[in-house]
């Protein structure tokens, strides 16, 4: 970026839990270093609430879940040079997109006075409304990913996208496979890394927070889950979770969902 003023950065929130903002905030000292090089215009969890105008990089957390979210997304897109989604919600609709799969009246089963709640029928990713320049997956994202993206964008380089599967990262960290050694169902073989294989390092299977990897062989993995004793609905729930609307996970989840199953 060649302008003499400091690049203007914003972090915008839609329907979300704020966890991605907190991951950003968790960078600590590195955030201070960043603050010396850019102007942080708007970042609710960190304090600044400046007007969302004339932005160089805008990070969006959260899914498009209300009409207000729709308006925000379009307005921010017009004001931003680079628009970057952070996290599962902004990138694939997030956990709240589970309502997209629900046929019944979800609202009244959750809220005692649903008449006060006004939201869209579906929770959708930012890319369903406007063009997005970069998508960072994760639930939440990790701060280092955001920082690396900023560093690249500030110096005019295309950010290097994560592309490997969690399995490869697990093996690089020399974490023995939880599925092979413990029989724990794990989405690692079909999930993009970026988390550093966090859950397997604590003896848990991968939850798929970072969304489908390239070439995700979900049918074979789902059959393996069945071999480990998961019932069809359990298998469906593994795929229809944090990133239920990511096409590869949605398709596999539907194959194992009762109403979609053709037996």
Partner 1 sequence: MPEGSQGFLKRERLQDLFDLLVRFGFEPVGPRVQDGIIVYAPLSGPEDLPWGVRDLQDPGSYRIEPDLGERNFSWANGPQALKPFLFAPRDTLWESRRDISGPLSFSPLSPPNRRLAVIGVRSCDLAALSLQDRHFLKGPFPDPFYKARRQDLLLIAVDCSHPARTCFCASTGDGPEARSGFDLALGELDEGFLVRPGSDLGRTLLRELSLAPPAPGMEERLTAQTDHAASVQERHLPPGEFRHDLVSRPDHPHWAQIAARCLSCGNCTAVCPTCFCFSEREEPALDGHHSLHVREWDSCFTAGHSYLHPAPLREDTRVRYRQWLTHKLGTWHDQYGRSGCVGCGRCLTWCPVGIDFTDDLPRLLEDPDGG
Ramachandran bin of 174, using left for φ above 0, alpha for ψ from -120 to 50, beta for the remaining angles: left
Taking contact as CB under 8 A, which single stretch among the options 17-25, 101-109, 119-127, 172-180 is the one that binds partner 1?
172-180
Residues in binding contact with partner 1, number by CB under 8 A:
42
Put the strands of the sheet holding 39-43 in their side by side order.
39-43, 8-13, 55-61, 80-86, 134-136
Binds partner 1 by CB under 8 A, chosen from 83, 86, 150, 242: 150
Instruction: Say how far apart CA 175 and CA 221 lie, in whole Å.
Output: 19
Rule CB under 8 A: is residue 154 a binding residue for partner 1?
Answer: yes
CA nearest to 128, candidates 77, 163, 176, 188? 77
Binds partner 1 by CB under 8 A, chosen from 51, 151, 158, 231: 151
Residue closer to partner 1, measured from CB, 66 or 148: 148
Residue closer to partner 1, measured from CB, 27 or 106: 27
Rule CB under 8 A: is residue 204 a binding residue for partner 1?
Answer: no
Torsion of CA 119, 124, 129, 132, to 10 degrees: 140
Using CA atoms, how far residue 212 sits from 51, 141, 162, 207, 252, in Å, is 35, 15, 11, 11, 11
Residue closer to partner 1, measured from CB, 54 or 217: 217
253: which residues sit within 8 A by CB, 6+ positions away? 236, 237, 238, 239, 240, 244
Binds partner 1 by CB under 8 A, chosen from 17, 106, 107, 168: 168
Rule CB under 8 A: is residue 152 a binding residue for partner 1?
Answer: yes
Rule CB under 8 A: is residue 125 a binding residue for partner 1?
Answer: no
At its nearest, how many Å lie between partner 1 and the CB of residue 116? Answer: 44
Residue closer to partner 1, measured from CB, 76 or 146: 146
Site string for partner 1, 12-51 (x = CB under 8 A): ------------------x--xx--x--------------
**What are residue 12's DSSP bridge partners?**
60
Instruction: Say how far apart CA 127 and CA 73 lie, in whole Å.
Output: 10
Q: What is the DSSP letter of 98?
A: G
Instruction: Say how far apart CA 90 and CA 112 lie, in whole Å.
Output: 28
- Judged by DSSP in three states, 113 sits in coil
At its nearest, how many Å lie between partner 1 and the CB of residue 36? Answer: 9
Rule CB under 8 A: is residue 221 a binding residue for partner 1?
Answer: yes
Read off the tokens for 64: 């498009």
The residues binding partner 1 (CB under 8 A) are 30, 33-34, 37, 147-148, 150-152, 154-155, 157, 160, 163-165, 167-168, 171-174, 176-177, 179-183, 186, 188-190, 203, 214-215, 217, 219-221, 223-224
């Amino acid at each position: 970026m060649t302008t003499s003023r400091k690049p203007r950065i914003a972090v915008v929130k839609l329907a979300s839990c704020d966890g991605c903002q907190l991951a950003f905030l968790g960078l600590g000292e590195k955030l201070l270093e960043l603050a010396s090089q850019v102007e942080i215009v708007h970042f609710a969890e960190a304090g600044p609430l400046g007007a969302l105008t004339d932005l160089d990089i805008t990070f969006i957390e959260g899914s498009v879940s209300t009409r207000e979210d729709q308006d925000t997304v379009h307005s921010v897109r017009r004001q931003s040079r680079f628009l970057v989604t952070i996290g599962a919600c902004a990138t694939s609709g997030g956990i709240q997109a589970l309502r997209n799969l629900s046929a019944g009246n979800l609202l009244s089963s959750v809220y005692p006075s649903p008449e006060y709640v006004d939201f869209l029928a579906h929770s959708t990713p930012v890319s369903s409304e406007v063009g997005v320049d970069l998508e960072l997956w994760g639930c939440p994202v990790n701060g280092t990913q955001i920082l690396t993206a900023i560093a690249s964008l500030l110096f005019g380089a295309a950010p290097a996208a994560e592309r490997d599967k969690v399995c490869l990262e697990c093996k690089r960290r020399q974490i023995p496979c939880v599925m092979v050694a413990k029989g724990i169902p794990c989405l690692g073989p079909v999930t993009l890394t970026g988390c550093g294989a966090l859950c397997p390092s604590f003896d848990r299977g991968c939850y798929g927070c970072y969304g489908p990897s390239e070439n995700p062989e979900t049918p074979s993995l789902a059959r393996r889950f069945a071999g480990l004793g998961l019932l069809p609905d359990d298998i469906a729930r593994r795929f229809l979770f944090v990133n239920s609307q990511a096409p590869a996970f949605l398709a596999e989840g539907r194959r194992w969902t009762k109403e979609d199953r053709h037996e």
